[in-house]
Amino acid sequence: MAVTPTQFARTTRTSANWSDAKRRVLAAYREWIRAAPEIQTMYSVPFPVATIRTRMRQEFERHRFVNKLPVVDVLLMQNNAEYQETMNFWKQTTHVMSYFKTENFRASKLPSDFMSGFLEGRN
């Protein structure tokens, strides 16, 4: 699959009013939700698609109560850049996995202290 850098590029623009900003935010949210299965396969994310979509929603919900239109525009610009970098495979798996700190899949495997790790044969 050839990477076309401009395939996911968006022009930088400002929202005319709140309804325009809402429309742009919902369009960005839908893009991310639709891309979740592809992101899972591209980056070999060891979580189900539902978990990835939940994490995407949490990121959007984090900025839900922003009440300044220029701030929403900046967040949309950052969103477009993040989406382009993710879909063009310009990130590494560790960058994508950094969004899943709460779903840390390695924490249960780590020993609680040195002696238990030593007895398990860990280096």
Q: Each residue of 28-71: pLDDT tens digit? A: 999 999 999 999 999 999 999 999 999 999 999 999 999 999 99
97: Cβ contacts below 8 Å, ≥ 6 apart: 43, 45
Task: Report which of residues 49 and 104 the model is more confident about.
Answer: 49
Cβ–Cβ under 8 Å, residues 25 and 72: yes
Q: Residue 97 and residue 117: Cα distance in Å, rounded?
A: 25
pLDDT at 20: 96
For residue 107, what pLDDT band results from cuts at 50, 70 and 90?
Answer: low
For residue 56, the surrounding DSSP H or E stretch is: helix 49-62
For residue 15, what pLDDT band results from cuts at 50, 70 and 90?
Answer: very high
pLDDT at 17: 96
Helices 18-43/49-62 angle, 10° precision: 150
